[in-house]
Structure 1
Amino acid sequence: MKLAALVAAWLAGAWLGLRADAAPLPVLLLLLAAIPAGILLRMARLSLWPAVLVGLVLLSLFRIEATEDAPVPLVSQDSQPVAVQGRVINDPEATRRQAKFQFAVEAIDLGGGFEPLESRVLVYADPPESLLTRRDPFFRIGDNLLVEGLLERPKPFGGFDYPAYLENQGIFGILRSREVALVAEGSPGNWRGKLFDLRRKLSSNIENALPEPQSAVGRAMLLGYRGQIPPDLKDDFRKTGASHLLAISGLHVGVMLVLSMGMAGILIGRRRHLYLLLPLASIWSYALISGSPDSVIRAAVMGSVFLSALALGRPSSVLPGLALAAAVMVGITPGVLERVSFQLSFAAVAGISLALPYQAKVAEWITNSAESWASPWQPWVRAAATWMATTAIMSVAATLATWPLVAFYFDRIPFAGIFVTLLALPALPFILGGTLATGVAGLLHPALGQLAGLLAWVPLTYLIGLVSWMPAPTVSGSWVGLPLVGTWYTLLVGLLLTFRPGGGQSRMHRWLISRRQWFKGRVAAPGSARTATGYIGVSGLLVLGIWFLMGQVLSEADGRLHVYFFDVGQGDSALIVTPGGRQVLVDGGPQALSAVTSLSGVLPAGDRSLDLVALTHMDSDHSRGLLEVLSRFQVGAVLEGRNNQAGELLPRWRAALDREQIDVITVQSAYRIELEPGTTLEVLNPPRDPIGGAWKEANNNGLVLRLVYGQVSFLLAADIEALAENYLVGQSDTLDSAVLKAGHHGSSTSTTPPFLSRVNPMVAVISAGESNRFGHPSQEVLDRLVEVVGEEGVYRTDTDGRIEFISDGQRLWVRTQY
């Protein structure tokens, strides 16, 4: 209790220092006055504790007031063009469009020349050409850069105080770069560089072994890379109150702690405290490979305190020990006390730690109750029951410990979050362990990584399905204030002290004993548990292998042509799968993972090969997604037109082709590719001489393809407009096609009446993003198409989702996602 009182006094002083604006000198005088006050109490033979506690409050207050510096804003307006020089100070992360990293500013130019300045900003940047030989995200820790761009003040969003969140990390601006120059490369030889290299290798192995979005979710939960999670899936996690599962925090460290303690107990035994070294090494290894964010380091420190208490044989000292660790961290960085991540991590770890004695009693009761059940299935039933009970207790403990903070800071209580967490926690250890095994196995051989990926794919798919289908009822949490938060935690601690297990005093323990009779009399046929365990293990491996092989067999070509038009938002991406199984990807969509995610939905698990990739033109809504495809897939060759001579992404495209050593086939009109006997890809555009007299006409000189299989044909019109359409009408004799992919996302500048009349399609497809800012498709084009193919013959990715055409060369079937 004395330690708890000292910690409470220290934290109270820190809280006052962060909230109040007191001058250091008066606080120092009051602190000195505590000394004679203590002497007087001693002379009066009274307790010194009041003076000690008051003195500790004042000391903590003085510590903050004497050292706190007011942050200096980098810009005096919402946004301002700047140039800054400095270095990358964290492991950069690839987002869906750019790289993101923290940047230590050493000098800034606001228009009058460079001036020295020490600050931090969050940078979103495309790499310079000098870094394109590296793999995405191109930048690395320690790189010294000159960055020019627009410096913005962070703004709150969705009720979340984003500026305060960044300020607590020492970040005072967001810099969206226009140009980046490498001044000096970071040294990869130090231990941090090697650690981050290992982290990226693990991430790359997970990318190569798992489909999307399972890969993105797995990397977020294991390594902290959250930038490539699809926005709609991220929104599902947020709506169901499960966002905390994606952000590595005290919950993940707690799960890793419990999981590694269980494994250590099985491998080493619990008779000696040596087994505690394995969970200690596990949580710190996890903290390092996750990028060492402050929240995880704090949770690892708290987990170490918990393990120390167990090693000393004083599990009851866990909570004071955690409080002491929190006080030390606040002493080092006072601002951490106001960080939501710190409070949530402390609450989650404390809740799990306090619930572990109950978990131990429940596990003991399950073990004792199962002893009378003489069956070869007894060890498995006992393990499953213990596992489910453990995850349920951990889920309830973490939820009870954190919900008031969630409601207080985010003004919402996601009721679904309690059930989602309860249902997701049993999968969490398998996700973390399976994803880690996938990354490590990939270091040995890619095939081993893909095999290990099966272990992670199942729980990841379960979690994604859970948050996608779970209803998301929420209640406003605006009524939750500081008094309620304080009252809740006071009552919670009081209940824990009143109903603690042990010594026969716990009501829960007595109830569990009374329920032991439930298992009595359930005796099955005797057998060898060890033999049964062996049989079951071997059978499980055989089933897993057979399932994998059956998946490969069933995924073989079915003898029909399949053409998929993917829903990639405001962009284009289509996949052709020939009757013989050849795979051709045309364009990649506007986001980094547009094509990769779409391909994961239709290709067999583990299939990372494409026979041909076609790029119609370099506009980012067609080309950006192909950059990731070149990195993750084995590509036979790339097909591009003669127009790819300019574009924002052209340097990255050329660098990716060189890095992956992929052959490039440059084509023009009249070029024909026989994909296989009976299936032909015809190139209709661009012509030898550019349309419009210059290659800058990227849309009109785009790659137009016509796929022919038997009596069925598809015309993929890229982004061509009226000028190119008129050229094709006058020059090409073979425009008629059963399916027309309308040009330029249904823009009013395309799909002209003469062109539509010559193509004479039965069905039309428009690839456009929902509620896009361009207003595509135009009503004028829709009316033209309806007049030719009828209202039921117009398919749109923004309303129908993924569109699949299937043909045997004579007939045509259509299947839509929605």
Structure 2
Amino acid sequence: MLRRHPLLIPFWAMAVGLCLADRRAIAVPFSLLAAVFCCLLLSCLIKNTIVYLLCTVAFFFTLGLHALGPYTNPAIPASDIRNFAARTPAIVEGVIDSRPTATSRGSSFVLRAEGVFREGGTVPACGRLMISLDGGDVTLARGDRVRCAARIALPHRLGLPGEFDYARYLAYQEVAATGRVATPDGIILIRAAAEDSLLRRMDLIARRLGDFIRIAVPDRERSSVLIALLIGDQKGIPDDLNDAYTRAGVNHILSISGFHVGIIAWFMVMATLFLATRSEFLALRLDLRRTALLIALPAMLAYLFLSGAAPATSRSVIMLAAFVLALHAERESDPLNALLLAAFLLVVLTPPSLFDLSFQLSFLALWGIVIAAPPIMERLRGVTRGWQRNLVQFVVVSCAASCATMVPVLFYFGQASLNGIISNFLIVPILGYGAVLTGSSALPFVYLFPPAARVLLWCAAQLTALSNWLVALFARLPLFSFHGISRLDMACFICFMVLVTFLHRSRRTFALCALPPLVAVAAHLNTPAAADGRLHITMLSVGQGESLLIRSPNGETMLVDGGGYLYDNGRDFGRQTLGPALWKLGVRRIDRLVLTHSHPDHIGGMPFIVRTFPVREFWEPVQGGVGDQYEQLQAVLGERRVPRRRLAAGDAFVFGDGIELTVLSPPRGALPWRPSDDEMGMNDESLVFRLRFRSFSMLFTGDAGFPAEERMLADKDNFASTVLKAGHHGSRYSTSEMLLDKVSPSVALISAGRGNSFGLPARQTLDRLARRGIHAWRTDRDGTIELTSDGEGWSVKAPYGTE
């Protein structure tokens, strides 16, 4: 097996080393790598295969541990752009270091910083900065020197379970910080690039082609899909259309991969053969088939750079190039070896590509096709012929790719679509063979004869419109959802794939192949039950917002507030942040959804939660709420027929598991809110309640400030609580001395966003807590906070962190 697949051990040894370095942040010095390499060289002199294999494994494993060091632990000089991060914008000058790409809300590019302007003059700076531009596109290219005013921020994790690690994602692109520019006018071109590099020329060509497609196809949905198919820029596709392709199970067709490159290479070969066979001179003196194959190579490389050299495209070009060279040299080609070669080269040249989602999914899809399709089609030989065999092969390939990517798709997204097995029959021919071939044929005519390009693009646009219509139909079909896939499941899945691929098929090996799935199933069966007899209170780290999840001893769930963005940015907070966190925590239903007040940072994620989770009951303050998001929430509650209850001071509830809830504010006579009412007044009318479980208790204060605290304390209720949820994100106008005297908590929980512009939690509030010896747990510093109580004792931890 090792002789047949020589790259098997090096690739997997390095992959394991990279995974370990990624998860544990292990940094191996270069001296250790050099020492292991010397051992590998010495093992070549020993006539012992086992020693050589062990040294090979040790070297590539160590290489994997060492390779991520420059990305995760880079040297940070004093002039690094990270050191200029501040709440106020800074004027940065630098050189564009990546292709500017259009997004659904603007555009983005990487800037290699060279200087920051301050009052005293220009300060040298270095490092790569991800610039996001809102509300427009830029007519710039790689190599241009620009100046812009941007607020420099350091990417970091919120500290939520299962969240996308954006900081790590940028670090693997060697991006140190982020910056946001409000309008295209905020970017000033200092001078264009002095030299036209190959990448810059490709960027300019891609921009011209993209602009031509947008003009020739004015409809945004059609043009954005065509641009994704032909140039590889998917960021311009509207979110709802992209989501429809995902739900239909055909999102892969939008990413340039081996399918697209193969179609273009086949078209180039066929066109070359057609033209060359018309010449008797060439037909007599050249092997036209070999020559046509070699001509396809530079075309594939040009298309690789034109489309941005994404990992999936690079993998495809490497594999196809290996096949072309093997056929030209009349050597037998092995699809699995070609796949290993492509994966190994990508991982060695760019180690972080192993963690790129497109690399993983394209690699696994093709791996599944390679190991499943040939044996199945071999068994069907003689049973099917002609078009029937082609149809069966299409079904087998589609099913193999879907099954091979099912587990990782569920791991990353929590839902997978089996619709692709059906929709591929229509979408792949329409887009893959129709729009891709027609559109790619139009690209040369953009320069040679634009009217012909417009005609071809019009034809491709009609095919795209048909595809979008069909996708909208397939997107309505139900999805398969499961949010419990863990890293252990992923490891078991990879082990299963390896065993199925490389073990000889027999009864013994069949039992061995069944072992990884059995381990995964056993792990899920041993998952602790949600109802464990204890009270669980989780303060979710949702940035400058607030959301708390309460799970009672009998497993019932109460979600208090839904976080949200302070300002409308076009994104759905529930879908992006809150929903995935709840799924990772094992929440499958919400028994009581509680809104303390209708400010955006408390209500933003709730509409999505109501649409997605079964909600048994909705609670809100007696005066209701105001605003567009509140109206949207009310509409969704009405659609789902969720019972609603309005609460006021004096309401009390006793639940069957020993939980008691007492409402302390707002007063029962509070009037309904109007849009013109004061926002601070809404804070003071927040829903405030005290939760008690035996001898443990916690006071939930919403955004209540001093006036609300004085009003509640005047009622002389029992406020003593074990834990206090500090009011208004730790504002200095809440959590007064008087309240702390009455409550006398042992611990305070504060929800605030790191580096927020409001300076929360306020130093005055933290000092008041510190003087009484009350330890403050903060989401901006600690991430998500989990509190557990059995009714007598209690414990607090922050298991997810923010680094």
TM-score, normalised to structure 1, is 0.51
SS at match of 2:128: strand
Q: Which runs of 5+ in 2 are unaligned?
A: 278-286, 506-568, 571-627, 636-673, 675-803
- Deviation of 1:319 after TM superposition, in Å, equals 1.8
Do the aligned partners of 1:17 and 1:61 also contact (CA within 8 Å) in 2?
A: yes
- Deviation of 1:398 after TM superposition, in Å, equals 3.0
Do the aligned partners of 1:11 and 1:327 also contact (CA within 8 Å) in 2?
A: no
In the alignment, the residues of structure 2 paired with residue 317 and residue 491 of structure 1 have an alpha-carbon distance, to the nearest angstrom, of 21
Alignment of 1:546-585 (within 5 A): none
Q: 1:231 aligns with which of 218, 236, 239?
A: 239
In the alignment, the residues of structure 2 paired with residue 309 and residue 59 of structure 1 have an alpha-carbon distance, to the nearest angstrom, of 32
Match of 1:89 in 2: 97
Is 1:206 the counterpart of 2:213 in the alignment?
yes
- Deviation of 1:436 after TM superposition, in Å, equals 1.9
Do the aligned partners of 2:145 and 2:192 also contact (CA within 8 Å) in 1?
A: yes
- Deviation of 1:284 after TM superposition, in Å, equals 2.2
* Counterparts in 2 of 1:143 and 1:173: CA distance versus 1, 3 Å: same
Q: Which runs of 5+ in 1 are unaligned?
A: 129-135, 371-381, 501-589, 592-767, 781-818
SS at match of 2:130: strand
Is 1:280 the counterpart of 2:284 in the alignment?
no
Q: Which amino acid aligns with 1:325?
A: A
Match of 2:56 in 1: 53
Match of 1:468 in 2: 472
Is 1:433 the counterpart of 2:437 in the alignment?
yes
Match of 2:405 in 1: 402
- Deviation of 1:363 after TM superposition, in Å, equals 12
**CA offsets 1:704-726 (integer angstroms, 9 cap, x no match):** xxxxxxxxxxxxxxxxxxxxxxx
SS at match of 2:429: coil
Match of 2:313 in 1: 296
Q: 1:488 aligns with which of 493, 503, 511?
A: 493
Is 1:9 the counterpart of 2:17 in the alignment?
no
Q: 2:256 aligns with which of 248, 253, 258?
A: 248
* Counterparts in 2 of 1:112 and 1:12: CA distance versus 1, 3 Å: farther
SS at match of 1:193: helix
Match of 2:152 in 1: 151
* Counterparts in 2 of 1:96 and 1:413: CA distance versus 1, 3 Å: closer
The structure having more radius of gyration, on CA atoms, is 1
* Counterparts in 2 of 1:82 and 1:10: CA distance versus 1, 3 Å: same
Match of 2:334 in 1: 317
Do the aligned partners of 2:147 and 2:189 also contact (CA within 8 Å) in 1?
A: yes
Q: 2:345 aligns with which of 316, 320, 328?
A: 328
- Deviation of 1:52 after TM superposition, in Å, equals 2.5
Match of 1:651 in 2: none
In the alignment, the residues of structure 2 paired with residue 491 and residue 23 of structure 1 have an alpha-carbon distance, to the nearest angstrom, of 30
- Deviation of 1:469 after TM superposition, in Å, equals 1.5
Is 1:193 the counterpart of 2:194 in the alignment?
no
- Deviation of 1:417 after TM superposition, in Å, equals 4.0
In the alignment, the residues of structure 2 paired with residue 227 and residue 494 of structure 1 have an alpha-carbon distance, to the nearest angstrom, of 37
**CA offsets 1:340-372 (integer angstroms, 9 cap, x no match):** 232223334444556775799799969x945xx
Q: 1:414 aligns with which of 393, 412, 417?
A: 417
Do the aligned partners of 2:68 and 2:352 also contact (CA within 8 Å) in 1?
A: no
Is 1:424 the counterpart of 2:418 in the alignment?
no
Q: 1:447 aligns with which of 448, 451, 454?
A: 451
SS at match of 2:324: helix
Do the aligned partners of 1:27 and 1:61 also contact (CA within 8 Å) in 2?
A: no
Match of 2:483 in 1: 478
- Deviation of 1:323 after TM superposition, in Å, equals 1.8
In the alignment, the residues of structure 1 paired with residue 109 and residue 152 of structure 2 have an alpha-carbon distance, to the nearest angstrom, of 14
Q: 2:462 aligns with which of 446, 458, 462?
A: 458
SS at match of 1:248: coil
Q: Which amino acid aligns with 1:452?
A: L
Q: Which amino acid aligns with 2:452?
A: L
- Deviation of 1:191 after TM superposition, in Å, equals 3.4
SS at match of 1:169: coil
Is 1:137 the counterpart of 2:138 in the alignment?
yes
Do the aligned partners of 1:305 and 1:318 also contact (CA within 8 Å) in 2?
A: no
Do the aligned partners of 1:123 and 1:174 also contact (CA within 8 Å) in 2?
A: yes
Do the aligned partners of 1:347 and 1:402 also contact (CA within 8 Å) in 2?
A: yes
- Deviation of 1:103 after TM superposition, in Å, equals 1.4
Match of 2:188 in 1: 181
SS at match of 2:244: helix
> 160-169 vs 83-92, which deviates more?
160-169
Q: Which amino acid aligns with 1:229?
A: I
Alignment of 1:595-744 (within 5 A): none
- Deviation of 1:167 after TM superposition, in Å, equals 2.7
Match of 1:689 in 2: none
Q: Which amino acid aligns with 1:84?
A: V
In the alignment, the residues of structure 1 paired with residue 489 and residue 372 of structure 2 have an alpha-carbon distance, to the nearest angstrom, of 22
- Deviation of 1:456 after TM superposition, in Å, equals 0.9
In the alignment, the residues of structure 2 paired with residue 205 and residue 25 of structure 1 have an alpha-carbon distance, to the nearest angstrom, of 49
Do the aligned partners of 1:7 and 1:327 also contact (CA within 8 Å) in 2?
A: yes
In the alignment, the residues of structure 2 paired with residue 100 and residue 277 of structure 1 have an alpha-carbon distance, to the nearest angstrom, of 37
Alignment of 1:502-513 (within 5 A): none
In the alignment, the residues of structure 2 paired with residue 770 and residue 453 of structure 1 have an alpha-carbon distance, to the nearest angstrom, of 44
In the alignment, the residues of structure 2 paired with residue 122 and residue 67 of structure 1 have an alpha-carbon distance, to the nearest angstrom, of 18
In the alignment, the residues of structure 2 paired with residue 443 and residue 459 of structure 1 have an alpha-carbon distance, to the nearest angstrom, of 23
Do the aligned partners of 2:33 and 2:66 also contact (CA within 8 Å) in 1?
A: no
- Deviation of 1:148 after TM superposition, in Å, equals 0.6
In the alignment, the residues of structure 1 paired with residue 51 and residue 204 of structure 2 have an alpha-carbon distance, to the nearest angstrom, of 54
- Aligned identity (percent) is 24
Match of 1:669 in 2: none
In the alignment, the residues of structure 2 paired with residue 271 and residue 480 of structure 1 have an alpha-carbon distance, to the nearest angstrom, of 51
* Counterparts in 2 of 1:436 and 1:390: CA distance versus 1, 3 Å: farther
In the alignment, the residues of structure 1 paired with residue 393 and residue 218 of structure 2 have an alpha-carbon distance, to the nearest angstrom, of 30
Match of 1:220 in 2: 228
Do the aligned partners of 2:71 and 2:171 also contact (CA within 8 Å) in 1?
A: no
Do the aligned partners of 2:114 and 2:126 also contact (CA within 8 Å) in 1?
A: yes
SS at match of 1:74: helix
Do the aligned partners of 2:246 and 2:417 also contact (CA within 8 Å) in 1?
A: no
Is 1:31 the counterpart of 2:31 in the alignment?
no
Q: Which amino acid aligns with 1:467?
A: V
SS at match of 1:118: coil
> 458-467 vs 311-320, which deviates more?
311-320
- Deviation of 1:295 after TM superposition, in Å, equals 4.1
- Deviation of 1:315 after TM superposition, in Å, equals 4.6
In the alignment, the residues of structure 1 paired with residue 157 and residue 228 of structure 2 have an alpha-carbon distance, to the nearest angstrom, of 23
In the alignment, the residues of structure 2 paired with residue 94 and residue 39 of structure 1 have an alpha-carbon distance, to the nearest angstrom, of 51
- Deviation of 1:54 after TM superposition, in Å, equals 3.9
* Counterparts in 2 of 1:314 and 1:492: CA distance versus 1, 3 Å: farther
Q: Which amino acid aligns with 2:51?
A: L
* Counterparts in 2 of 1:439 and 1:61: CA distance versus 1, 3 Å: closer
* Counterparts in 2 of 1:410 and 1:271: CA distance versus 1, 3 Å: same
Alignment of 1:775-786 (within 5 A): none
SS at match of 1:106: strand
- Deviation of 1:116 after TM superposition, in Å, equals 3.0
- Deviation of 1:145 after TM superposition, in Å, equals 0.8
Is 1:108 the counterpart of 2:116 in the alignment?
yes
In the alignment, the residues of structure 1 paired with residue 309 and residue 189 of structure 2 have an alpha-carbon distance, to the nearest angstrom, of 25
In the alignment, the residues of structure 1 paired with residue 315 and residue 496 of structure 2 have an alpha-carbon distance, to the nearest angstrom, of 25
**CA offsets 1:266-302 (integer angstroms, 9 cap, x no match):** 8889995444335434432321221333442343223
In the alignment, the residues of structure 2 paired with residue 310 and residue 770 of structure 1 have an alpha-carbon distance, to the nearest angstrom, of 64
**CA offsets 1:716-762 (integer angstroms, 9 cap, x no match):** xxxxxxxxxxxxxxxxxxxxxxxxxxxxxxxxxxxxxxxxxxxxxxx
Aligned residues: 489
- Deviation of 1:460 after TM superposition, in Å, equals 0.8
In the alignment, the residues of structure 1 paired with residue 314 and residue 453 of structure 2 have an alpha-carbon distance, to the nearest angstrom, of 28
Do the aligned partners of 2:10 and 2:56 also contact (CA within 8 Å) in 1?
A: yes
In the alignment, the residues of structure 1 paired with residue 28 and residue 255 of structure 2 have an alpha-carbon distance, to the nearest angstrom, of 38
